[in-house]
Amino acid sequence: MRQVELGRAMPLETAREAPTRLRRLRRTEALRNLVRENHLHATDLILPVFVDEAADEPVPIASMPGVSRIPLKRVAHEVEAIARDGVRALMLFGIPAEKDAVGSDTLAATGLMARMTQAAKAAAPDLVVITDNCFCEYTDHGHCGVLMDDGHIHNDQTVANLARQAVVAAEAGADMVAPSAMMDGQIAAMRAALDAAGFDHLPIMSYSSKFASAFYGPFRAASGCDLVGDRKTYQADPMNGREALRESALDEAEGADMLMVKPGLPYLDVLTQIRARTELPLGVYQVSGEYAMIKFAAAAGALEEDRVVRETLGAFKRAGADLILSYFTRQVLREGL
């Protein structure tokens, strides 16, 4: 036995039990790769795409550097290029030339939602094409539904319109519909309408736990939505975690095939808790404000963009997301995962 001198730290080898040394598995890149718990795959990522009916050229979005609205007439060309970069799934947002009080353009089989969906599917049949089902981009007041004279958004009239809109998207060839209006009962109504129209095979990804977030700021500019007021009467209160869990539980009970938390980073707690409560595939949306924060901080030289982007996407996986909607999708796939 070695003598331990008083006043000196006890050498580790004399400790009775071998100490845990977590650094052993961090010594080399190869070891770190071997024990990595979460990995990003191309199939985890969904790219949101803005389609502008009136534009002739791509329209850069100043508050989202690197993101442009695609002219409807160039959807085929752009979607082919996006697919070549390795993107597997798209979420389509339309900016129509004409808006009105109810967003009637999007209820027509000849409207923008139908035409952009057809164009995207025709250009890249293997791509999963998802439609954002809502009305805020299509209404002149910018709300997600039917605005009443007294200023409130009529729940059940909006739900009826969402059900019609879902069938329009399905008939145009969408692989999945994603309602984001946060109306009560919208999933059950859309499911019933799709089934009745012969689309019982078409899945619904619900924006189930969607918060009334200030992080959607740049999206409003991107989607040409001049909202008067706010969405606090239909989207969940950012201070409420349990309410968000109830929202997702209700949507599952109504027949949603997939759930989603939105925004992402500020709501990782909600993501983890929903993961623990459901067996459904779970998505998360890294929204426009999250994208802008990283882009502007990187442009200012404050952050290393690549690493920060991967760290945030990794955080979503670690917190329990199966799928991530992110404006960084194309960029990270082009650079290689």
> Which positions are annotated as active-site residues?
210, 262
Nearest CB to ligand PBG, comparing residues 193 and 287: 287
How many Å apart are CA 123 and CA 78, to the nearest integer? Answer: 9
State yes or no: residue 180 binds ligand PBG (CB under 6 A): yes
State yes or no: residue 175 binds ligand PBG (CB under 6 A): no
- Please list the helix, strand and coil fractions of the chain in percent, rounded to the nearest 5, in that order: 45, 15, 40
Quote the tokens at residue 271.
């993501």
State yes or no: residue 287 binds ligand PBG (CB under 6 A): yes
Amino acid of residue 65: P
Out of 70, 102, 120, 136, name the contact with ligand PBG by CB under 6 A: 136
Stretches 6-14, 132-140, 168-176, 193-201: which one binds ligand PBG (CB under 6 A)? 132-140
Count of helices and strands (H, E) across the chain: 11, 12
Nearest CB to ligand PBG, comparing residues 279 and 295: 295
For 265, phi then psi, to 5°, come to -55, -40
Amino acid of residue 103: G
State yes or no: residue 328 binds ligand PBG (CB under 6 A): no
State yes or no: residue 206 binds ligand PBG (CB under 6 A): no
How many Å apart are CA 169 and CA 194, to the nearest integer? Answer: 10
The least distance separating ligand PBG from the CB of residue 181, rounded to whole angstroms, comes to 7
The least distance separating ligand PBG from the CB of residue 18, rounded to whole angstroms, comes to 49
How many Å apart are CA 267 and CA 256, to the nearest integer? Answer: 21
How many Å apart are CA 286 and CA 221, to the nearest integer? Answer: 17
Partner residues linked to 262 by β-bridges: 210
The least distance separating ligand PBG from the CB of residue 268, rounded to whole angstroms, comes to 17
The least distance separating ligand PBG from the CB of residue 295, rounded to whole angstroms, comes to 13
Taking CA 59 as the corner, what is the angle to CA 215 and CA 161, rounded to the nearest 5 degrees?
A: 60
Per-residue x/- track, 242-281, ligand PBG (CB under 6 A): ----------------------------------------
Judged by the rule CB under 6 A, the positions of this chain that interact with ligand PBG are 132, 134, 136, 144, 180, 216, 219, 231, 287-288
